[in-house]
Structure 1
Amino acid sequence: MFTSNYKYNFIDVFSGAGGLSEGFFNCGYNPIAHVEMNGFASDTLRTRSCYYYLKKTGNLNYYYNYLRGSISKEQLYEKVPKEVLMTVINEEISDKTYKSIFYKIDDIMKKDNIKEVDVLIGGPPCQAYSLVGRASTQGGMENDPRNDLYIQYARFLNKYKPKLFVFENVPGMLTAKDGVIWKRIKQRLRTVGYNIEHRLVNAHDFGVLQHRKRVIIIGWRKDLDLHYPEFARMHVNAIVNDLLNDLCHLAPGEEHNEYITEPNEYLIESGIRDELDILTDHQTRNIRDVDRDIYRIAIEMWNDNHRRLHYTDLPENLQFHNNRVSFLDRFKVVEGDMESAHTMLAHISKDGHYYIHPDIEQARSLSVREAARIQSFPDNYYFEGPRTAKFVQIGNAVPPLMAKGIATAIKNLLDGLEK
C-alpha cells in the first residue's frame, strides 16, 4: 500500500510504538508489516500509518483534525484504505501464532506485488535482559520466556531471507545468564544463514539529547558481500532545556497543549517540531504535596553544582520508605542544562520520581510529550491509549533519530549492492 516511490521494504517485529520503524520510514523504506502484541501500541502504529498515507496523498488535514479532536479515531481510519491498517498485525509472536502471522504477511506481499524483503528490524522485549530487571526480580528472570524470543526472530529470517537485519536490545543482553543467552543468539542467527556483528552505541551520538546505550546487532545474508556499517556521528549544539522551553508551563495533574515560543534551531533541524504541528499529550500526572516538596529539594540540589539527591538526605519527615539502603537515587532531576538527559525508561509509567522537570517553579514530573521529545519523537507522533500506556510505549521505544541514523547506514549498504 505504501510501495510506490519506495526503493526498499522492511518488516518490523516486536514493533512497540514504532520508534525503530519511524527511522526507516523517514529514509524512504516501505513497511510491509508491523507485528506487535500490545493493543495500545498497535493502535499507535495504525494511527502513524494513517499519517504517512495521508501525507503521501496530500490529505494530512484529516490527521490534524484528529489531533484537534474534530474527528474520532474511527473517522480517521475511514479516510485510509483498510489495507493500510491491516499492515499492523496485533498478535503475540509465539510457537502457536507465527505461522498465521506469516500467512498474513504473505498475503500483504502478494497484494502489493512485493517479491522480496530487504530488511527485517526489531528487538524482542528487553526486560528479561536488562540489568535493572534482573536485579529487581527474584531469580534474575532466569526462567522468563522472553529470554527465548530471539528464536521467533530467527524464524522470520529463515522464512523471508531478507538481505539484512537489525536487532536492537539492551547491553545486558550480552551478559544475561553469564553470556549464555548471547552465545545462543549468535548461534541461532548464524544457523539461519547470516553473518552477524554487534556494536554498543549511544543514542546521543545520533543527535538524540539522551544518554541511552543499546546493542545494535546487524546481520547480512552469507551470500552477500556486506559488512557492519559505519554510523555517522552527529554533534548538535543543544541542551535538554531546548526540548522543554517552548511548551506551556504545567502544575502537576494539568494538561495544556499550547506552544509558548517559536521552535528553536534544534527542534526544527531534528524534525521534532514544525510549523504545522498540533501539540498533544502535554499532560502530567498529579502528585502528593509531600512528593512535590521532595521534588523542589531535588531541583535545588541539582541547581547547586549538579548535586544529586539521595533519599537519606531528606528531612526525616519526608522519608516514608523503610528501605534506606538501596535505590537511594529514586528521585532524579532531568538534566535541563546539559547536552543529554539520563535514559528514558518505561518505569516513568509507574511514577515520575526519576524524571523530575528541572524548572523549580513547576516542580512536577515530565509530561507525556516532554518524555516523547527526549526520545526524539516528533510532535506529530500521536500515542494511543491512556497516559500510563503512552509512557510505557515511549520508554520502551528506540529513539527515531537514532533509528534514522541506522536506517541511513543500511540504505547505503543496499545501494552498494546495486552498483
Structure 2
Amino acid sequence: MPATFGVIDLFAGPGGLGEGFASISDRGREPFDIGISVEKEASAHRTLTLRAFLREHRKQHGRLPEPFIDFHAGRISEPDWSVIDPTSWLVAKTEARALELGKPAAGLAIDETIARLQRKFDETILIGGPPCQAYSLVGRARAKGKVDYVPENDSRHYLFREYIRVLDRLRPAAFVMENVKGMLSSTVESRLVFEMLMEDLSSLGIGRGHFYELRAIRITDGKASLQEVVRPSDFVVRAEDFGVPQRRHRVIIVGIRSDIASGIGSASLKVSSGSRSVSDVIGNLPPLRAGLSRSPDSDHAWRDAVVSSAKQMAESFQNGVMPHLEGQFSELAKTFETMRVPPRSSSTLPRGYGTTNDPLLQWLENAELEAVAQHETRGHMSSDLGRYMFSATFGRLHGYSPKANEFPAEISPDHRNWHSGVFSDRFRVQIADQPSTTVTSHISKDGHYFIHPDAVQCRSLTVREAARLQTFPDDYLFLGNRTEQYVQVGNAVPPFLARQIAQLLHKVIG
C-alpha cells in the first residue's frame, strides 16, 4: 500500500499551504493528512479551525454541512459547529492549535503530536515558514523607522530556529519551507539570515546518519522538478509560472531525507501553465460600488461624487494634457449619470457557476454553494474615487498603472512628497489582462495598492476578490473582522500553488 504522510504545518496562517497538501487525492485516498497546524493569531486560527472542520466533515459525509451553506450565504450567524458534527469538530480542534511557536506550551504540544504522528503514519512531512515581517524589505524599512529597533533583539529573525528544532525532532521524509524574497538579503549581526538558515539545514543529520538533500523547484518545458541549487536565488518560485493569477515571488526550500531521495532526479510534474489574469478570476464576480467615508453614504451621494470626478477630469484633459483621455471621462460621466447604481455588496453567483471546464475556476468554484461570500466594499474618500477612476482608465489604455507624475494636478493628493518619488505608485491599479501584483497584508489598510481594473466601479478589491487572486476556493471563509480577513489573505501561500508543490513532492517520495 502507498505511504500515508502525517503533516505538521507551522506558522500556518489561515491554512493556504496546508490546503494545497490536504487537497491531494491518489487513487481514492489522501496521501497527506494534517496532524497539527499551528497559528498564534486569533482570527487566523478561527479560520484554520473552521477549514479543518469542513475538511473532516466532507471526508466523512461527502459534502459540506447544510448549516455552513447557510452561514456562507449570510442567511444565518455562525452556528455551533460542535453541535452540528461533534466528531469532526473534535478532529478540527485537535488539528488547529492556537499556539505561539518558541514558547514552552507550543513546544510541548508539538512534541506530543510528533510522537502521535510517528505511531500513526508511515512517514511525516513538515511544512510552513516563519513570519516574514522581519525578513521582508518592507518590514525592514518600517523597522528602521523605530528609534529603539535592534534587529538582533527581534525574535522574528530567529523563529526559523524553532522550525529547525521541530525538523530535527521529527526527522520527516521531506519538508517545505516558504518565505519572502527579502529573506535572501536580510542580515542580523552582520550575517545573512539565509546563510544561517542554510548552515542549520545542512547540519541536520550530522552524526545521526541521514541528512537532507536541499532542492529548488524549477520549471523546464512546462514541467516542474526538484533541482540542485547553484545560487540562493534558485530557491525563488514565481507563482504565475504555476497558473496563479498573481506575480508572487517567494523563497521555497524543499528538503528530501537522503535515504529516500533516489527519486528526486526522475520526478516531474506538468504544471498548470499559461499566464492567468486578474479578469480570469474576478471578472465574473458581481460589480459593486465603493462606500463613501468621511461623508454621508448613499447611492445618490456616490453618483454625485463619481459624476463630478469624471467631469472634472474630462475638462482637465481638454487642455491638451493627455487629450486621448478626455473622451474616456466624458463617456464615464454619461455612464454614471444613466446607469443603475451597483450595490455595495452582492452574494449573487456568476452565471454558469460550478460548471466550468477551466481548471483554475474548477479549483475556485464549488457547485454546492448558493452564494458568493465576503464580496463587499469598504468606504473611500470621494476624492480617492476619482483617483481610482483615473488609475483604472489609464491602466486599461496603457497596460500599466500610472505613476505619481502621470496623475493630473486636479486629482493629485495634497502630499508634500507626492512628486518626490516616495509615492510614485501610491495608487496602483490591477491590470485586467495581466496577473496581479503581489497580494500582501497591506491590502488591509486603505486599498490604494489594490484598485479594481473597472473604472466604473472605481474601488479597491473586496476580500473575496483578493482571495481569488490568492487562489483560495470560494468555500474558504475567513473569520474575524474585515481588516483581519484581508491580513489573512495577504499573508497566505496560494493554495493552487501549494497543491502543485504537494503533487510534485508526492511523485518524489510517494
When normalised by structure 2's length, the TM-score is: 0.75
Matches of 1:166 and 1:89 in 2, distance apart? Answer: 20
Distance 1:130 1:157 in 2: 23
Contact in 2 for aligned 1:116/1:162 (Cα 8 Å): no
Give 2:151's aligned residue: 142
- Whichever residue aligns with residue 175 of structure 1, its letter is S
Alignment of 1:151-170 (within 5 A): 151-170=161-180
**Are the equivalent residues in 2 in contact too, given 1:368–1:391 (CA < 8 A)?**
yes
Alignment pair present for 1:57 and 2:60: yes
For residues 120 and 307 of structure 1, what CA distance do their matches in structure 2 show?
Answer: 39
Say which of 35, 43, 61 aligns to 1:32: 35
Give deviations 1:224-247, integer Å, cap 9, x for gaps: 334486553322375321212221
Total equivalences in the alignment: 409
User: Does the 8 Å CA contact 1:273/1:378 hold for their aligned counterparts?
Assistant: yes
* Gaps in structure 1 of 5+ consecutive residues: none
Indicate the SS of the match to 2:159. helix
- Greater alpha carbon shift after TM alignment, 32-41 vs 88-97: 88-97
Secondary structure of the residue aligned to 1:271 is helix
Bigger mean CA offset, 142-151 vs 372-381: 142-151
1:238-249 superposed matches below 5 A? 238-249=276-287
Give the corresponding residue for 1:275.
Answer: 367
1:143-202 CA-to-partner distances (Å, cap 9, x unmatched) read 322111110001111221111000011111111117621111011122232332342111
The equivalent residue for 2:181 is 171
Where 1:65 maps in the other structure, the secondary structure is helix
Answer yes or no: is 1:203 the counterpart of 2:213: no
Asked if the contact 2:4–2:122 (Cα under 8 Å) also holds between the matched residues in 1, the reply is no
CA displacement at 1:307 relative to structure 2: 4.2
Residue 318 of structure 1 is matched in structure 2 by 412
Q: Which of these two proteins has the greater Rg computed from alpha carbons?
A: 2
Contact 1:242/1:266 (<8 A) preserved: no
Q: In the alignment, what sits opposite 1:414? A: 509
Deviation at 1:262, TM superposition (A): 2.1
Quote the offset at 1:290 in angstroms: 0.3
> What are the superposed Cα offsets for residues 127-151 of structure 1, whole Å, 9 maximum, x if unpaired?
1111222233317973322111110
Over residues 4-28 of structure 1, what are the superposed CA-to-partner deviations in whole Å (9 max), with x where a residue is unaligned?
A: x982221100000101001000113
Q: Name the CA distance, whole Å, in 2 between partners of 1:365 and 1:291.
A: 10
More displaced 10-residue stretch of structure 1: 217-226 or 185-194: 217-226
Q: Secondary structure at 1:304's aligned position in 2?
A: helix
Is the 1:375–1:399 Cα contact (8 Å) retained in structure 2? Answer: yes
Identify the residue that residue 195 of structure 2 maps to in structure 1: 183
* Aligned with residue 236 of structure 1, among 274, 291, 299: 274
Mapped to 2, the partners of 1:265 and 1:315 lie a distance apart of: 47
Tell me, yes or no, if the aligned pair for 2:385 and 2:458 is still in contact at 8 Å.
yes
* Post-superposition offset of 1:414: 1.4
- The answer as to 2:377 corresponding to 1:284 is yes
SS at match of 1:15: coil
Where in structure 2 are there 5+ consecutive unaligned residues?
Answer: 25-29, 206-211, 217-234, 292-343
CA spacing shift, 1:186–1:268, aligned 2, 3 Å: closer
2:494 to 394, 399, 417: 399
Q: 2:253 matched to 1:221?
A: no
Choose 309-318 or 352-361, whichever is displaced more.
309-318
Q: CA deviation at 1:259?
A: 2.1
What is the TM-score normalised by the length of structure 1?
Answer: 0.90
- Cross-structure match for 1:101: 109
Match of 1:77 among 69, 76, 82: 82
Farther off after superposition, 177-186 or 385-394 = 177-186
| RMSD between superposed Cα atoms in Å | 2.4
Equivalent in the alignment of 2:446:
351
1-structure distance, mates of 2:199, 2:275 = 42
Deviates more, 1:304-313 or 1:161-170: 304-313
Counterparts of 1:230 and 1:267 in 2: how far apart (Å)?
Answer: 19
1:369 to 464, 470, 480: 464
Q: 1:269 to 1:282 in 2, by over 3 A?
A: closer
